[in-house]
Amino acid sequence: MTLLAFDGVTKHYGEELVLDAVSFELDRSEVEVIIGPSGSGKSTLLRCVNRLAEVDNGTIRFDGEPIGDTDADELRRQVGMVFQDFNLFAHRTALGNVTLGLRRVRGFSKEEARERARRELEQVGLGAQLDSYPAELSGGQKQRVGIARALAMDPELLLFDEPTSALDPELIGEVLAVMRELADDGMTMLCVTHELGFARSVADRLTFLEAGAIVERGDPERLFTDPRSDRTAEYLSRLTGEY
Amino acid sequence: MDAVAVETAAILVPDLLGWVPLQTGGDWMFVWENRRFLLLGTAVTILLTLASVGLGFLLGLPAGAIEAYGDGRLQSVVSTVGVALRGTPIVVLIVLFFFGLPIPRQLGSIPVLDVRMSGFLAATLALGLRSAAYQSQVFRGTIQSVGEGQLKAARSLGLSKPAAIRHVVLPQALRRSVPGFQNEFTIVLKDTSVVFAIGLAELLRRGYQLFTQPGRQGAIIEVILAISLIYFVLTFTTNRLLDLLDHHYAIPGGES
């Protein structure tokens, strides 16, 4: 069952073409990983899904509806986003970061919101950090708050924009573990990441994006072992260090 | 204190006392006898400051937000009015508002304080609007200093732009505004003295009335020193209170 569908999506920033007729479909409960060199349009692609960026041409359908037809705030409630640099609300505790959307968007009472937020934070292993402020948390903890904040909205789809790129290497594992758990629970996920191990073991689809266009898309294992495009082979071998 | 210091003090202190006319007790007695008169002026100064800074905040915060986020007409109107207000001497504004605005003169006086209502209103408008023009720049700056990612994260949860600004940007911007606001508060407090120009009986005006009485010109230094001391106590207290506010609302661990 298709949850997200791109159909000939094109996007410019000024003169520059950042997305070039991108088409693909993502089924419910599937995990898709997008890789590609920096500037290839990966982040822009994610932002088009929750309309933080608007497309120039083509259609994006979410749950069958063109996203241009739905209210952007309503769409964003259903599509969670996790950011590279966390973007936690600096003036709110971990708990406060999660309750804001529950209170102001989903209309939870104060107690309901606190209860739900506590559960989400316990789920990502932060039951002891409920009252910590972002500046008091490690990078890995911050990103797990970011994930809990997105999950609390009960999204249909989660977007991950390089969730581990700003982390020290030893903190990456704890974030990937949470993401793996989500995938196992059947969350639909669209992830921009350079974590090839995660792509290989968790993703159902792997997409290689370059210069705004999809070069190759398919089963991750197949892309690693038997890429059809030379560019894919070259990029993957460079990432894995197999020169 | 060691012996040398005591000796030095013994030589210097009478000298200093001779330079600053402190030993002529009569003029200080005169100030003391008129303390109630001066304190009423202090009350006028405080009232005028609170009203003006309050008005300045109520108008300056939205103006700052419009300058930071608005687009087109509204933004250019707000910023033009701001430039005009910041570019006009405060005495000119006060005189202009007092004589130019149709404020009914028969509003009477504020009881006890002996201040005409019409003058007080004109002064509050002039000081308040000018303060709004300056406060808007404080708030515009701190609003813009809150990272774009904060707004993006709030919007990605489904908060509308006004809700995101209110619940995410403003709480952080207001915390960062305290030092600038502190400055502005002190400036308005001291600038209330220019309502002198329309004869409002605030602190400086009342001091002037004291030492211009026949035979009292000799007390001018004492009166001015006493008034300065009162202004100092007021600014010092205000700054301390705002420091406390700053510490109370500081984000634990700083900002990340």
Q: Tens digits of per-residue pLDDT, A213-239?
A: 999 999 999 999 999 999 999 999 888
Of B158, B171, B172, the CB nearest to A76: B158
- Quick check: is B148 in a domain? yes
B26 touches chain A (CB under 8 A): no
Q: What is the per-residue pLDDT for B57?
A: 97
CA distances to A42, A90, A141, B242 from B151, rounded to whole Å, are: 21, 12, 21, 27
Report pLDDT for A44. Answer: 95
State the pLDDT at residue B51: 97
> pLDDT digit string (tens) for B121-130?
999 999 999 9
Count residue pairs from A and B with Cβ separation < 8 A.
81
Q: Does A149 contact chain B (CB < 8 Å)?
A: yes
Asked whether the beta carbons of A198 and A180 are under 8 A apart, the reply is yes
Separation between Cα atoms, residue A131 and residue B134, nearest integer Å: 37
| ∠ CA B165-B158-B68, rounded to 5° | 25
Min mean pLDDT across A70-79, B75-84, B99-108 is at B99-108
Best mutation target, A54, A75, A91, A103, to test chain B (most B CBs within 10 A): A91
Residues in Cβ contact with B227 at an 8 Å cutoff, skipping those fewer than 6 apart = B38, B203, B204, B207
Give domain status of residue B16, yes or no.
no
Query: What's the pLDDT score for residue B109?
Result: 83
Query: Does residue B10 fall inside a structural domain?
Result: no
Please give the pLDDT value at position A209.
96
Q: Tokens for B203? A: 């602190």
Task: Work out whether the CA dihedral B71, B73, B75, B76 comes out positive or negative.
Answer: positive
Average pLDDT in chain B: 89
Q: pLDDT digit string (tens) for A75-125?
A: 999 999 999 999 999 999 999 999 999 999 999 999 999 999 999 999 999
Within a domain: B154: yes
Number of domains in chain B: 1
User: Above 80 in pLDDT, residue B13?
Assistant: no
Give the rounded percent of residues in chain B with a pLDDT score beyond 90: 65
Cβ–Cβ contact A87 with B under 8 A? yes
Q: Do B251 and A50 touch (CB under 8 A)?
A: no
User: Is B3 within the bounds of a domain?
Assistant: no
**Per-residue pLDDT tens over the stretch A160-219:** 999 999 999 999 999 999 999 999 999 999 999 999 999 999 999 999 999 999 999 999
Query: Tell me, what's the pLDDT at B172?
Result: 96
Distance (Å) from the C-alpha of residue A216 to the closest C-alpha of chain B?
29
What average pLDDT does the segment A4-13 reach?
A: 96
Identity of the amino acid at B171: P
- Which pLDDT value is given to residue B4? 67
Quote the pLDDT of residue A59. Answer: 96
Q: Report whether pLDDT(B152) > 90.
A: yes
Q: The domain containing residue B171 runs over which residues?
A: 24-249
* Block residue for tokens 């006898």: B33
Q: Per the domain annotation, does B217 fall within a domain?
A: yes
* A50 in B contact zone (CB under 8 Å): yes
Best B156, B167, B177 residue to mutate vs chain A (most A CBs within 10 Å): B156
CA distances from B130 to B48, B56, B151 (A): 14, 7, 30
pTM of the model: 0.86
User: The domain A2-240: what is its CATH number?
Assistant: 3.40.50.300
Strand order in the sheet with A65-66: A16-27, A2-13, A57-62, A65-66
Q: Is the pLDDT of residue A61 over 80?
A: yes
> Band of the pLDDT at B254, cuts 50, 70, 90?
confident
**What is residue B31's three-state secondary structure?**
helix
Q: Which residues of A touch B253 (CB under 8 A)?
A: 132-136
CA–CA dist B73, B79 (Å, integer): 10
Residue A32's beta-bridge partner residues? A190, A205
Q: Which residue has the tokens 């640099």?
A: A85
At B167-186, the pLDDT tens digits run 999 999 999 999 999 999 99
pLDDT band, very low/low/confident/very high, at B19 (cuts 50, 70, 90): low
Residue spans per domain, chain A: 2-240
Q: Is the CB of residue B216 less than 8 Å away from at least one CB of chain A?
A: no
